Chain A
Amino acid sequence: MVKFGKKKQKQRRYDENMAFTAADTIVFWITFAAYLAMLALIGVYSKKKTKSIQDFMVANRSIGAVLTGLSYGATYFSAVLFIGCPGLTWMTGSQWMLVTLMNLSFGTFAAFVLLGNRTRRLSMHLGALTMPEMLAKRYQDDKLLRPTAGIVLAVFQTIYLVSIFTGLSLLLQIMFPGTGKGAYYIACILCGVITAIYLIIGGSHSAILSDLIESMMMLFAMLTIVLAGVAAAGGLGGLNANIYTDIALGPDTIFQSNPDAWFLFPNAVSMSMIGMGLVTTFGTWGSPQMSTRFFAAKNRRSIRYGMIIACLWVFAVSFCSWFAGYVGRGQAIVGGSTLSLRTFATTLNGGTLPANWYEYTMPWLLSEANIIPLWMAALFLAGTTAASLTTGEKLILVAGSAIARDFYQQGIAAKKNISDEKTLKITRISILAIVGIAVLMAIFPPAMVLDLCMFSWASLNAFTLVPLIAGLYWKGGTKRAALISGLIALGVAITWFMMFNPKWTTYGLPFIAYKPSTVIYPGQPVQIPILITPWFSAKPGDIHEFIVSQLVAIPAFFIISKIDKKGKPDRAFLDGIFKFMTANVEE
């Protein structure tokens, strides 16, 4: 039995008719409108500062410590994590909270220490404004590496954007009681349009400035929900006691024979947690939307002091995101909190239990668990919506610039000498196109929001992570190694996902048979465990494509670099960039 005592609260009754009133929805829409108005003001203000393509892409490398730290944190976490994280904790145990430790120590601290200043200086030295541009200039390959990286980035950032819009719409649909899926479509279109207009006006300046306010809203909302939830259950002891009761009641049977396993690591489903932990941690290292936070930093001090701000922020928000599932399942509800959540998800889904019912944890906590007043829940909903928009903005910006600058201006149209002004126009048109595609895809959402998000992170990192880190620390990497190892690893990530991911295998090629699932594993082929330990066994589907693709990418990069003797950039060039990156001077 897990410690913290066994206090138990009086059980609350689940009320199926409980929903936001008209007054609550007015609170939400006023807050939301005020937030959008603020974004517009920031956009107009930023427009004055956006005079060149460097202003648009990296805010003229003028961002100080506070904004660097908060911007990193706000880009790290989006609605996908608010929706996906609590659900996973609820379903498969508190072990997911260990991901916070990984996010904090390696996803943030180590990223700032190992990559922060070197990435900033390398991008400055090479005059790079985007990740593909930096890779291409570092490995001296504008012909193939740059347009390929541009296309990979644009495709997988758009897929990530789909998962964000989907998560956002799952959150927002509780604001339209009784309207069913109509609310979902309205939310998707509304957020897409607003974000696109805002980005077209302001670019990077506005995206970073809005982080300051948005990150504060996210932090305040998460802390309040979690603290109110713990208080409502009578402290940690109450939470634990209620979880034991809920596991005993069912209807989920996964931990009924050994309820202690819900609180312990490892348990039977730990391999998928390890994979997800690794991709949310190291996936940030190679993600262009995160790296460009370092591009925009003013100096080394911005990175160093930004690091402590980012670490504190990530600790609070990541912990609250995973812990929210613990808090949700630990509420004292008559008949059990899991049954209540499933009933809630069924009602919202028009009468059928959705496959991803546990991803309704956060909406359930806000509207049904009765832990905070509904007007306050409406206020927080606007805050978490802000989180999605924050990350979405940067994804669109990165994807738009990858198409316009890397694929078109410097790639296929390199000989035509396209001007920066024209490239800026193409970037803005690309932004519109990406938002349109993402909104259309989000209207027919996949079964698992977090799965799709993590697939896009894994695929992006398959291409960029090893060449990026090797480019910062090793002089021996070659352009062919960067391109070929990236493409091989990307192929492995996609193949592994399509062949073994249990949510997709039923449908064959996921993006051809792109349709929502009502049951998680209908007719799923039986997978034989390939990893057996005393604690748990893992099937291929439990091993994340991020792990497999990196295991291929790392040796491939180094082996090809060793074979490709002629592809290395010249010695003087390499000495120059390494001297600049490692110089112990303040700019």
Chain B
Amino acid sequence: MNLLIGITIGMMIGFVIGMFLSGHAASDPISGLPRIEVFSTTMTGCIITIVIVLLYLYLAEWSTHGKVREEKAKTEEV
């Protein structure tokens, strides 16, 4: 469950960072209300999500196989 919460929060942070780091957070020229410039937000958000996917894959594989290998190495050392 912690992993799931982490992923969800990670994606939300990714989206928000993508939105603002892209430097195109805009405001509507008529109403002055804050709005998002879509193109750069989409591109940045997607790239960050892909990075999160790769990170998740690495962590998930490590938690399955890395731990097993570490335990095995420890046992062999002993």
Q: Report yes or no: B36 in contact with A264, Cβ–Cβ below 8 A.
A: yes
**A258-B30, A586-B64 known; A101-B39 Cβ under 8 A:** no
Q: Within residues 6 to 60 of chain B, which ones have a CB less than 8 A from any CB in chain A?
A: 7-8, 11, 14-15, 24, 26, 28-31, 33, 35-39, 41-42, 45-46, 49-50, 52-54, 56-57, 60
B17 → A minimal CB distance (Å): 13
Asked whether A263 is an interface residue with its Cβ less than 8 Å from the other chain, the reply is yes
CB neighbours (8 Å) of A236 from chain B are 39
Q: Report yes or no: A315 in contact with B41, Cβ–Cβ below 8 A.
A: no
Q: Complex Cα distance A332/B67, Å?
A: 58
**A105-B11, A319-B42 known; A311-B29 Cβ under 8 A:** no
Q: Report yes or no: B28 in contact with A264, Cβ–Cβ below 8 A.
A: yes
Q: Report yes or no: B37 in contact with A3, Cβ–Cβ below 8 A.
A: yes
Q: Report yes or no: B15 in contact with A3, Cβ–Cβ below 8 A.
A: no
- 1/0 per residue, CB under 8 A from B, across A389-423: the answer is 00000000000000000000000000000000000
Q: Which of B4, B37, B49 makes the CB contact (< 8 A) with A101?
A: B49
**A260-B29, A586-B64 known; A94-B39 Cβ under 8 A:** yes
Interface hub of B26, B30, B49, B54 (most chain A Cβ within 10 A): B49
CB neighbours (8 Å) of A110 from chain B are 7-8, 11
Asked whether A437 is an interface residue with its Cβ less than 8 Å from the other chain, the reply is no
Asked whether B61 is an interface residue with its Cβ less than 8 Å from the other chain, the reply is yes
Q: Report yes or no: A308 in contact with B53, Cβ–Cβ below 8 A.
A: yes
Which residue of chain B has its CB nearest to the CB of A114? B4
Q: Complex Cα distance A59/B57, Å?
A: 25
Q: Report yes or no: B36 in contact with A105, Cβ–Cβ below 8 A.
A: no
CB neighbours (8 Å) of B4 from chain A are 113-114
Q: Report yes or no: B46 in contact with A104, Cβ–Cβ below 8 A.
A: yes
Asked whether A304 is an interface residue with its Cβ less than 8 Å from the other chain, the reply is yes
Asked whether A305 is an interface residue with its Cβ less than 8 Å from the other chain, the reply is yes
A255 → B minimal CB distance (Å): 11
CB neighbours (8 Å) of B28 from chain A are 258, 260-261, 264
Q: Report yes or no: B42 in contact with A109, Cβ–Cβ below 8 A.
A: no
Which residue of chain A has its CB nearest to the CB of B11? A105
**A105-B49, A113-B4, A308-B57 known; A264-B42 Cβ under 8 A:** no
Q: Report yes or no: B49 in contact with A264, Cβ–Cβ below 8 A.
A: no
Q: Complex Cα distance A267/B53, Å?
A: 30
Please give the number of chain A residues whose Cβ is less than 8 angstroms from any Cβ of chain B in the complex. Answer: 40
Q: Complex Cα distance A260/B49, Å?
A: 27
**Chain B interface main SS type:** helix
B20 → A minimal CB distance (Å): 14
- 1/0 per residue, CB under 8 A from B, across A515-544: the answer is 000000000000000000011000000000
Counting residue pairs across A and B whose Cβ atoms lie within 8 Å, the total is 96
Which residue of chain A has its CB nearest to the CB of B43? A319
A403 → B minimal CB distance (Å): 36
Q: Which of A105, A263, A319, A584 makes the CB contact (< 8 A) with B64?
A: A584
Interface hub of A105, A114, A236 (most chain B Cβ within 10 A): A105
Asked whether A365 is an interface residue with its Cβ less than 8 Å from the other chain, the reply is no
Q: Report yes or no: A3 in contact with B24, Cβ–Cβ below 8 A.
A: yes
CB neighbours (8 Å) of B53 from chain A are 109, 307-308, 311
Which residue of chain B has its CB nearest to the CB of A270? B35
A36 → B minimal CB distance (Å): 34
**A110-B7, A304-B60, A304-B61 known; A101-B29 Cβ under 8 A:** no
Which residue of chain B has its CB nearest to the CB of A265? B36
CB neighbours (8 Å) of A97 from chain B are 38-39, 42
B25 → A minimal CB distance (Å): 10
Which residue of chain A has its CB nearest to the CB of B63? A584
Asked whether A2 is an interface residue with its Cβ less than 8 Å from the other chain, the reply is yes
A203 → B minimal CB distance (Å): 31
Q: Report yes or no: B49 in contact with A311, Cβ–Cβ below 8 A.
A: yes
Q: Which of A113, A263, A266, A267 makes the CB contact (< 8 A) with B39?
A: A263
B51 → A minimal CB distance (Å): 11
Q: Report yes or no: A308 in contact with B7, Cβ–Cβ below 8 A.
A: no
CB neighbours (8 Å) of A584 from chain B are 63-64
Q: Complex Cα distance A236/B24, Å?
A: 14
CB neighbours (8 Å) of A22 from chain B are none
CB neighbours (8 Å) of A113 from chain B are 4, 7, 56
Q: Complex Cα distance A105/B46, Å?
A: 8
Q: Report yes or no: B60 in contact with A266, Cβ–Cβ below 8 A.
A: no
Q: Complex Cα distance A106/B52, Å?
A: 12
CB neighbours (8 Å) of B39 from chain A are 94, 97, 236, 263, 326
- 1/0 per residue, CB under 8 A from A, across B56-75: the answer is 11001101100000000000
Q: Complex Cα distance A265/B37, Å?
A: 7
CB neighbours (8 Å) of B29 from chain A are 258, 260
B11 → A minimal CB distance (Å): 5
Q: Report yes or no: B38 in contact with A94, Cβ–Cβ below 8 A.
A: yes
Asked whether A60 is an interface residue with its Cβ less than 8 Å from the other chain, the reply is no
8 contacts between A and B (CB under 8 A): A2-B37, A105-B14, A105-B15, A105-B45, A264-B28, A265-B36, A305-B57, A315-B46
What is the interface of chain A, defined by CB distance below 8 A to chain B? 2-3, 93-95, 97-98, 100-101, 104-106, 109-110, 113-114, 236, 257-258, 260-261, 263-267, 300, 304-305, 307-308, 311-312, 315, 319, 326, 534-535, 584, 586
The 6 closest A-B pairs by CB, nearest first: A264-B35, A94-B38, A101-B45, A97-B42, A265-B36, A105-B49
